[in-house]
Chains A and B, each alone.
Chain A
Amino acid sequence: MKRLLILLLLATLSFASEYVVISNKKMKDLSKTQIKAIFLKKINIINDLEVIPINLGTRNDLREKFEKDILKMNFVRLKSYWTKQHYLGHRPPLSMKSQQSIKAFVKKVDGAIGYIEKSALDDSVKVLYQWGD
């Protein structure tokens, strides 16, 4: 019985997904609070570089996980947040259709920052933060 439980636990862990926030290798280390501030456009400049947060498309599963776990806001609250930011002169982050596009963009553009599944990671980019289900 004990073995069965351990096997079930291991099986569950092996299916748990992990995700990473990535940037160009020139980016300095960032805390979770700073990453949140970048995606809410409260931080625009780091180390004399314009920071460019990149989202996945609206209603993308990974984007929803990122918004729930890192930004701690749901879709409705974010929609109201960006409407208010429009009045204050700030734009929402750009979005890209795929994790591959985000990784390629982040690799090429200094200051770019995005998020992908850990399984899509390679050493061309820097990992700033990692989280899981």
Chain B
Amino acid sequence: MYKFLIILLFLASLKAAEEYQLGEGAQIGSLPLYMGGYVSLDYKSAENEDRYRIDDIAVLGYGGYDKFSYMAEVEFKKFYVRTYSSEYDNTSHNTRLYLERVYLDYNLNENYSFRAGKYNSPIGFWNLLPINVLRETSSSPVSSSILFPKFTTGLGLSYTTFGTGELKIDIMAQNNHDLDAKYNNYEVDRHYGVGLTYEVEDYTYKLNGGYFHKDNIVNEPIYYMLLSAKYEADKYQILSEFGTQTSKDDTATDYAGYVQAVYRATEQHIGILRLETYDDNVANIQESLAIVGYTYRPLYPIAIKSEYQFHEESDLDQILFSLSVLF
């Protein structure tokens, strides 16, 4: 029934109230409801294994009235995966529908905004726009998934002030279980964090810090800190995030980060170079890698990407292709 309603709502969005533009969703009749979604398919070829995947099929809905606005998103993750090598050939289907985001915002005035629900933790830059079609490469930096909980279920507060530049303070507070713990990189029952963002002209600087506690595991809380910077001009973007974790147990990540340069030769043709380094004590991996990528966007909401990853150990090198669309 749940899935049927989602499909019905999406079909209803095809009868849009305004002229439809790909990548901007559509209003449902005259309701305060806009619907959209995204899909992504990818292919990975490594030395020992190849993989085809329909990774994301997501539907999102949002709208607002007066000082209130809302967002909800559900998603099929790893919907179809085929992994094969000379020794095996495995196929898996995952038809579980995950609750990715659902939240209500209240904009008190031009400075203060409150949020309740499950939302992308406002930490760094990558975590706010994590889906394939919106990021510059098929892969995400390792640092974006090992330093902090990607999602927070609880309350949020943001304060913004406008002077020469824009100064924003974000506060995240979770003291409960995740609304859908299977859709988060950490299963947490506690997460408190604060972020400071300063944007002036083409430059944005961000500092985040906080701590979280893993759900159902009796262990020490993990403290994290992330420092991020972005330079964005019409042709170029340079983005960097570096962070660290600390904890009384020895599973914390000592450091993880990346620097990424993007060159937009034209509206359609984009070149990317990313350098990453990390020391993950959970997976017990310490390495640096370089990623060279090319993205073709016939229209901005359609991305056809390729990338090559050069790892310190060359047998970990891999090539990735993906096709993703936001509608």
Contact = CB atoms under 8 A, between A and B. Distances in A.
Interface residues of B, number: 37
Contacts, number: 80
B66 A86 contact: no
A72 B202 contact: yes
A76 B24 contact: no
A90 B177 CA distance: 28
Contacts of A74: 234
A87 B326 contact: yes
A86 B25 contact: yes
B326 A86 contact: yes
Interface residues of A, number: 28
A73 B129 CA distance: 19
A79 B202 contact: no
A117 B71 CA distance: 37
A15 B313 CA distance: 64
B interface SS class = loop
B132 to A, nearest CB: 11
B29 interface: no
A83 B23 contact: yes
A87 B131 contact: yes
A133 interface: no
B247 interface: no
Interface in B88-126: 107-110
Given A33-B166, A37-B162, A86 B36 contact: yes
Nearest to B38: A87
B165 A83 contact: no
Given A33-B163, A74-B234, A79-B300, A44 B326 contact: no
Question: Which of A73, A82, A89 neighbours the largest number of chain B CB atoms within 10 Å of its CB?
Answer: A89
B129 A84 contact: yes
7 contacts: A45-B107, A76-B267, A77-B234, A80-B300, A83-B300, A89-B64, A91-B24
